[in-house]
Amino acid sequence: MVRPLDHSFDVTEEIGTGEPLSQTAWIFAPEDAAEVKGAILCLAGGTYDKKYWHLEVPGHEGYSFARRLARRGYVVIALDHLGVGGSADPTASGGVDLQLLASGDAAVAAQVRARLDDGMLVPGLRPLPHLPLIGAGHSMGACLTTMVQARAGAYDAVALLGYGVDITTFTMRRSRPTSLRNVSRRARPSSARARERPWTRSRRSCHESRCGRCSTAPTCLRRSSAPMTRRNRGCPSEPPPRSRRRATSAGTPKRSTCRSSSGSGRSTSRPTRTRSPPAIAPPLT
């Protein structure tokens, strides 16, 4: 069975802050050193260490990424970033950012290349000067793999298993979850939201906006200059206009005047409605 070998890389000179710094790693070598196909330097994501590449589940085999590739002829180096796992914590080097982590990882990649050429990486492994070196990273490790390759060109190939460094978070309300569609709609200017489907707004908000004094109405609707009439009810902040009596003409129905029993002369105008007799069906013959 392939077992991990503890290894350490000194990166004090490459970091250049004056404090002694080293990075630890696990190295998985193939059992048959004559069939080595390549070397893979694996960088884990944020908050993870080298155990990410060697997952051991009690009672279950086959979950170790490093062990599976070692059985297929690859030398796997699972590395701890500075300040993670068994690596040194750069307390005197200032803020631990991506630039500092990439500098340490690039130094380790250069040392791995040199030790592969000299046959000093793993005991029993012959010198392999032309062995391909592959950089593999997950999430933040993929970002650092890209930075190492851009700086030093240490790899012959890269495997970016999910790149993640600048992640946007979406807030969610307690009452209902916020979908991406709602987030995109709220991200647009208010003028754009107001122009979108104005007919879907409530009828009351449309009527209140016609007087131009209701502050709760949409901006695009408050600019409306339509006159306020009794039909649209107007805005609650302003009383509706008084209705005018319509003059009786020949085309309007006659109104009857009803007096109350007390004889006060109070009249009520009601239209007189005439009903036509119901139609009678012809007898059956």
pLDDT above 50 for 75: yes
| Shared-domain flag, residues 78 and 205 | no
| Amino acid (1-letter code) at residue 176 | R
pLDDT at 32 (0 to 100): 84
Write down which residue in 163, 182, 209 finishes a domain. Answer: 163
260 lies in a domain?
A: no
Note the pLDDT tens digit of each residue in 192-211.
Answer: 444 444 444 444 444 444 44
Give the dihedral of Cα atoms 259, 264, 269, 270; nearest 10 deg: -40
Number of domains in the chain: 2
pLDDT at 238 (0 to 100): 52
258 lies in a domain?
A: no
Q: Which domain holds residue 223?
A: 191-236
CA pseudo-torsion sign 215, 218, 219, 221: negative
| Shared-domain flag, residues 25 and 105 | yes
Q: How far apart are CA 47 and CA 66, in angstroms?
A: 19
pTM for this entry: 0.58
| Shared-domain flag, residues 81 and 207 | no
CA pseudo-torsion sign 204, 210, 214, 217: positive
| Shared-domain flag, residues 16 and 133 | yes
